[in-house]
Structure 1
Amino acid sequence: MPEPFTLTTLLLAGAAAAGTEAVKEGTKDAYRKLKDKVGELFGPKAAKALVKLEDAGTQTEGGKELERYVGDNLDPEEAVQIQPLVDALVQALRDDAVAKSAAHARVGLDIEAGGNALVRNIEGAREVVAKVKAAQDVTIEGFRMDTGRDPGK
């Protein structure tokens, strides 16, 4: 079973892929559909955050705003509406070799745990940024980094 990811992380990967000319139109279309649905469900502030997410200069700010307006706790009705679009974008990113390269994985973890914290099996990342605050043990295991060249350099 794949590890969970946030909607913001998926949208960030989709934005990076959609901004690359050689990415398949199907991948770009899957991203646009999810982006439009997020704007529709969560309003104009979320839509503005998505615009910032697509610009490298405002990406961090856009990600923070999107987390604020959308978060990761969708109500059941929102989840039902978004799930097919999430699945379509995940599949498109997997099937499109150029998109995989363009949306190189930057994993950001910000974990606050009252007990133990366990981070396990992150694969294909080129960057991992972790901030972990735990009352007990922190265990990080199973990292398999992507050694490929960063397409942005």
Structure 2
Amino acid sequence: MPEPITLTTLLIAGASLVGTETVKEVTKDAYRKLKEKVGEVFGSRASTAVAKLENPATHDQGRKDLARCVDDDLRPDEATELAPFVEALIRATQADADAKTAVHSRVGLDIEAGGNAFIRDIQGAREVVAKVKAGQDVTIEGLHLDTGRDPGK
């Protein structure tokens, strides 16, 4: 069963779509509307963090800033306010083949563990970037990358 989509995960994915020329404008527009709503709900620090996500030079800092500003455990009023925008971006992404490819092509992991770090079952990514600080062993198991080619062609 796939992991649930969190608001921060969706914003990070959306930020990667904005710079992809082949992604449909309706998908980019759905992301922009969600981004604006996140700024209204969580304030200007959240807006700044999301803007940093869109720039490759500040992407990692944007992710860290976003984690401080946006809580994925939303209050009921926040969830109700954001739901239509989240649903619109998910629907647009699902209907846009280029957006689905862009969203699913990269997995980024930033793990800090006092003991062992165990990463299991990453599938369908085209690129995996892992920064792992572990007190002991790091194990990666079940990594299945997508070459980006349709095997039927």
Bin of the TM-score, shorter chain as denominator length: 0.7 to 0.9
**Cα distance, 1:85 vs structure 2:** 1.8
Unaligned stretches of 5+ in structure 1?
A: none
Structure 2 counterpart SS, 1:108:
strand
Larger Rg: 2
How many residues matched?
Answer: 147
Alignment partners' CA distance in 2, 1:111 and 1:71: 20
Alignment partners' CA distance in 1, 2:59 and 2:99: 18
State the superposition RMSD in angstroms: 3.0
Q: Is contact 1:13-1:105 (8 Å) kept?
A: no
Q: What is the aligned partner in structure 2 of residue 19 from structure 1?
A: 19
Aligned-pair identity in percent equals 54
Is 1:108–2:109 an aligned residue pair? yes
**Cα distance, 1:144 vs structure 2:** 3.5
Q: Is contact 1:107-1:125 (8 Å) kept?
A: no
**Cα distance, 1:109 vs structure 2:** 5.6
Unaligned stretches of 5+ in structure 2?
A: none
Residue range with higher mean Cα deviation, 38-47 or 20-29? 20-29
Alignment partners' CA distance in 2, 1:5 and 1:140: 23
Q: Give TM-score, length-normalised by structure 2.
A: 0.75
> Aligned pair in 2 of structure 1 residues 88, 123: CA closer, same or farther (>3 Å)?
farther
> Aligned pair in 2 of structure 1 residues 131, 19: CA closer, same or farther (>3 Å)?
same
Q: What is the aligned partner in structure 1 of residue 73 from structure 2?
A: 73
Deviations 1:110-148 (A, max 9, x none): 4769xxx98665432233437487xxxx99765442222
Structure 1 counterpart SS, 2:56:
coil
Is 1:8–2:8 an aligned residue pair? yes
Alignment partners' CA distance in 2, 1:47 and 1:105: 23
Deviations 1:13-43 (A, max 9, x none): 1111122222111101110111111111000
> Aligned pair in 2 of structure 1 residues 71, 109: CA closer, same or farther (>3 Å)?
farther
Q: Give TM-score, length-normalised by structure 1.
A: 0.75
Alignment partners' CA distance in 2, 1:3 and 1:107: 15
